[in-house]
Structure 1
Amino acid sequence: MNDTWSVDDHLADILGSVRPLEPIELPLLEAQGCVLVEDVLVPAPLPPFDNSSMDGYAVRVADLRGASEDYPAVLTVIGDIAAGGGELPTVAPGQAARIMTGAPLPPGAEAVVPVEWTDGGTGGGPADAMTAHSADPAGAGGEVRVHRPARAGQHVRARGSDAASGTLALRAGTVLGPPQLGLLAAIGRGAVPVRPRPRVVVMSTGSELAQPGEELTPGRIHDSNSYVLTAAARDAGGLPYRVGAVTDDAGSLRSAIEDQLSRADVIVTSGGVSVGAYDVVKEALSGIGTSPGDNLVAWGSGVEFRRLAMQPGKPQGFGLIGAERVPLLALPGNPVSAYVSFELFVRPVIRTLLGSEEVHRPRVRARLALAQAAAPLSSPRGKRQFLRGGYTPPGEGTGPGTVRPVGGAGSHLIAALAQANALIVLPESVTEAADGDELDVVLLG
């Protein structure tokens, strides 16, 4: 095999080594963001009974024929019906029952007239109709004048009108968001079988790293990578654990990884994967899993470090470690390199573990929009370059959208990264892209 890997071969090797997590049963709120693993059917009609969509009066349609402002229908009020109430009165000809929103339609009634269509009943006008009789538990007695006719089913939510019994509520593969969880609750499901959110352990390496909020001493910088990658892991659907910065010491890094293995479905490190004298990740993890006495990973396939034909993000590491063969992805330390590498390689791993049908970020074609008199974009032959870009969708019926470069090509330019919503892809065969050229764009938002 060549010393240099292509982006596609590296990704294929990674994804060929991971499988979706085993399903578990989770309570609804813990299942948010997870992928459903089986179809869910509606067990009973939703709603389970005919109920009122308005505060008003449950009536018989025949009693209101010809009702008008000048000649209202006069009905006897036989009681109140509240949501969640007990025994229902029967509405006979010439009668009405005061009813609240969500309350079941009583026997004999065919429609609900809003309180605004009435005089509010004996003792009150339309504005206070639903409170005028609140002191009378039964609500019986008095009359109500209705000024309009009604049709059968008016302002009534029919039994099963939302979902009929036995119909499909949610299909396997659905990502459970707030509306889906609401539907599951409405049909009475307290828990569902899902693939859990993958636990993603994130750690940065480097003795120069200080935590945000700490005062910087000479030669030190704030650790941004662990925050970027932790947020990216959460955005991808993972359950992230930020470990923070580990010093440039191989033993400390190995101990930190060993401590985290028990709670990790995937481990992500950044920094220390190049060829420098202090590239601690490479030093600590090269060849692990191959030594019989290796206490950290006497199992797994070990971590292999590779050079990729890409920019940024040339140095990468990948392997399966521990008894559970946990994927470990070692990313470069420069902030842009780390983030681009995460989007290309780690995000698909998280989405695969999650069981999602959408593993990769969406890609679109876009026309390159360069500033006036700006030189074409350049890229080294044989490398796939990913530049930060600002993407603008097309107007209706106007073809592809446009994308403009944001910042330079430097892998340390995190300020420019914060302004980008896309990655501009310059393929291995392209060395120059001019204004108006169509290119692939990876959408990040």
Structure 2
Amino acid sequence: MPAAVAAAARPPMKPLDEALADLLALATPLAGTDTVDTFDADGRVLAVAAVSPLQVPPHDNSAMDGYAVRRADVAAPGAQLPVSQRIAAGSAGLPLAAGTAARIFTGAPVPPGADAIVMQEDCQALEGDRVQVHAVPAAHQWIRRAGEDIALGAEVLAAGTRLTPAALGLAASIGLARLTVARRPRVALFSTGDELVMPGEVDPARMPPGAIYNSNRFFLRGLLRRLGCAVTDLGIVPDRREATLEALRGASLEHDLILTSGGVSVGEEDHVKPAVEALGRLDLWQIAMKPGKPFAHGRIGAAHFMGLPGNPVSSFMTFALLVRPFLLRLQGMQAVAPQSVAATADFDWPRADRRREFLRVRRNAAGGLDLFPHQGSGVLTSVAWGDGVVDTPAGQTIARGDTVRFIPWAELQS
């Protein structure tokens, strides 16, 4: 076929945002939930909103170590008051008698009748259980009011929230020992390629010609687990049609997603594409992104199928920008797109590309971004070296000092 005819027949590349929107439209949240101990819920997605059965704080309490007083008794600096009681956190005081003060500690309930706390730095303890107050307090000074943090019946964590350590602490603060979360997506993972070798199976000095270690399997498995997935690692499937069919057929019966890297092109040894088409359906997309142009999505029975490119950086980036949001949406999250921040480029990038390009960078001591010198799709060193990517629109160059869109790895790997 003449080159001009082949180019005309080739479908246009799909913009990344359009590809993601198409994927998310297919990501129906998974049926079923798990109820887990709050201690064990980090990273899970809340399926049922957390509603507070109490107010926080449950009562007015002191924000400082000091003395609880009636403001009417401290009309001027230097007032001296007898100390009538001592109130520690976890205990309750008696009503504060007029003309007296209560020694109080942070978190302790404010006694009825007191309307201010004077911090101990503004007071002087005197002999005979008396205190001299050197500052006139403002109304309700250093008093945390009951319910000022959380009101009774308030929704403190919405359904679809991905739980963080802070969120777990918040759930615990309202007495929730267990949480109802979305069930884990069940993901079958395998690689294809007779050239792949697992670390530990063959010594580096004895690697046969053409063989490479399977790095994709390691970072994909780690990324899946960080997203709360239950991963079935099917290893390396031989480059044979029957072996590929068997692996796909079995994986489709018990998994929500089958994820592969490599083997979705049209070469004679690439069996994934015809095997998926024989068992279900497959769409091959050319995504307008660099690295990571080839991507496949399909269905085998009830299971989704996604095929990533074999080059490690391409595989990593297509996972981060397409698979990760899809898996989070399966768990009920709505805001799944990574967030960028403005940063200064401390490098030049004069080679504009027709695709949207993701350049591996890391922050320097001055707060700007340094560029990894080798941006090839097989240079996994760039991902381990960097701490994020610059999201560069198609056709755009970068000059030193330009403001660019920086996406930290934290937005793409967790």
Three-state SS of the structure 2 residue aligned to 1:342 is helix
Give the Cα separation in 1 of the matches to 2:155 and 2:88. Answer: 31
**Aligned positions, number:** 388
Moved more, 103-112 or 19-28: 19-28
Moved more, 347-356 or 416-425: 416-425
Higher alpha-carbon Rg: 1
Give the Cα separation in 2 of the matches to 1:155 and 1:439. Answer: 43
**Is 1:218 the counterpart of 2:223 in the alignment?**
no
Cα offsets for 1:47-99 (capped at 9, x unmatched) = 1111122233333333334352xxx514043x43332236x333223434333
The equivalent of 2:231 in structure 1 is 241
What amino acid does structure 2 have at the position aligned with 1:73?
Answer: Q
8 Å Cα contact 2:287-2:295 kept in structure 1: no
Give the Cα separation in 2 of the matches to 1:119 and 1:369. Answer: 56
Give the Cα separation in 1 of the matches to 2:238 and 2:371. Answer: 38
Equivalent of 1:269, from 260, 267, 280?
260
Task: Identify unmatched segments of 5+ residues in structure 2.
Answer: 1-8, 410-414
Give the Cα separation in 2 of the matches to 1:263 and 1:92. Answer: 70
Matches within 5 A, 1:9-408: 11=20, 13-22=22-31, 24=33, 26-27=35-36, 28-36=38-46, 40-68=50-78, 73-77=80-84, 79-85=85-91, 88-120=93-125, 122=127, 143-148=129-134, 149-212=136-199, 215-216=203-204, 217-219=207-209, 220-234=211-225, 237-239=227-229, 241=231, 243=233, 245-250=235-240, 251-257=242-248, 260=251, 264-282=255-273, 284-288=275-279, 302-304=280-282, 306=284, 308=286, 310=288, 312-322=291-301, 325-362=302-339, 371=348, 376-377=351-352, 384=355, 386=357, 388-390=359-361, 406-408=373-375
Give the Cα separation in 1 of the matches to 2:21 and 2:117. Answer: 62
Q: Percent identity?
A: 34
Cα distance, 1:270 vs structure 2 = 0.6
8 Å Cα contact 2:86-2:103 kept in structure 1: yes
Three-state SS of the structure 1 residue aligned to 2:141 is coil
What amino acid does structure 1 have at the position aligned with 2:315?
Answer: A
The normalised TM-score by structure 1 is 0.70
8 Å Cα contact 2:287-2:294 kept in structure 1: no
8 Å Cα contact 1:57-1:113 kept in structure 2: yes
Task: Identify unmatched segments of 5+ residues in structure 1.
Answer: 123-141, 289-301, 396-400
Cα offsets for 1:371-421 (capped at 9, x unmatched) = 5xx874455xxxx4645344889x9xxxxx99968524x432222344553
8 Å Cα contact 2:19-2:287 kept in structure 1: no
Compared with structure 1, are the counterparts of its residues 370 and 151 closer, same or farther at alpha carbon in structure 2 (3 Å cutoff)?
closer
Compared with structure 1, are the counterparts of its residues 83 and 225 closer, same or farther at alpha carbon in structure 2 (3 Å cutoff)?
same
Give the Cα separation in 1 of the matches to 2:106 and 2:220. Answer: 48
Give the Cα separation in 2 of the matches to 1:365 and 1:114. Answer: 42
Cα offsets for 1:257-292 (capped at 9, x unmatched) = 56655663322111222233432433543411xxxx
What amino acid does structure 1 have at the position aligned with 2:172?
Answer: A
Cα offsets for 1:193-248 (capped at 9, x unmatched) = 5444534443322333333455232233222112232344456x342526263141
Cα distance, 1:105 vs structure 2 = 1.8
Moved more, 112-121 or 182-191: 112-121
Three-state SS of the structure 1 residue aligned to 2:278 is coil
Three-state SS of the structure 2 residue aligned to 1:7 is coil
